[in-house]
Amino acid sequence: AQSVTQPDIHITVSEGASLELRCNYSYGATPYLFWYVQSPGQGLQLLLKYFSGDTLVQGIKGFEAEFKRSQSSFNLRKPSVHWSDAAEYFCAVGAWESNFGNEKLTFGTGTRLTIIP
């Protein structure tokens, strides 16, 4: 079965600083990859996705992510964070899961981002 690891539970960065959130996955082939953001009390919003092709993908709100097959990683980056970026971020993998009998979206446990002035 596929799995997703977000090793950082909580990250604090200063406003204007760069950001990188880590995501590693386990799957036998190349899965579909997603990053979602969840503001407090809200649902999940899709930031960006990777299906195939260019391994550097651009998303909304100035975020980008890079798929590195050799490292089984899909890290999320932003060159300069804003106070409004404070939220929880979820990495997700979409792939066929044999014991599920279907394609499935599997989520990491999330990284909470705090922005300090």
Partner 1 sequence: DVKVTQSSRYLVKRTGEKVFLECVQDMDHENMFWYRQDPGLGLRLIYFSYDVKMKEKGDIPEGYSVSREKKERFSLILESASTNQTSMYLCASSAPGRAKVEQYFGPGTRLTVT
- Binding site residues, partner 1, CB under 8 A: 32, 34, 36, 41-46, 49, 51, 90, 94-95, 102-105, 107-110
- Pick from 51, 47, 50, 49: which is nearest to 60 by CA? 47
Q: State the CB neighbour count (10 A cutoff) for residue 21.
A: 23
Whose Cβ is closer to partner 1: residue 18's or residue 42's? 42
Shortest distance in whole angstroms from residue 92 CB to partner 1: 8
92 or 115: CB nearest partner 1:
92
Q: Which is nearer to partner 1, 101 or 117 (CB)?
A: 101
Residue located via tokens 């930031």: 47
Picking from 26, 116, 12, 34, the residue whose alpha carbon sits closest to that of residue 72 is: 26
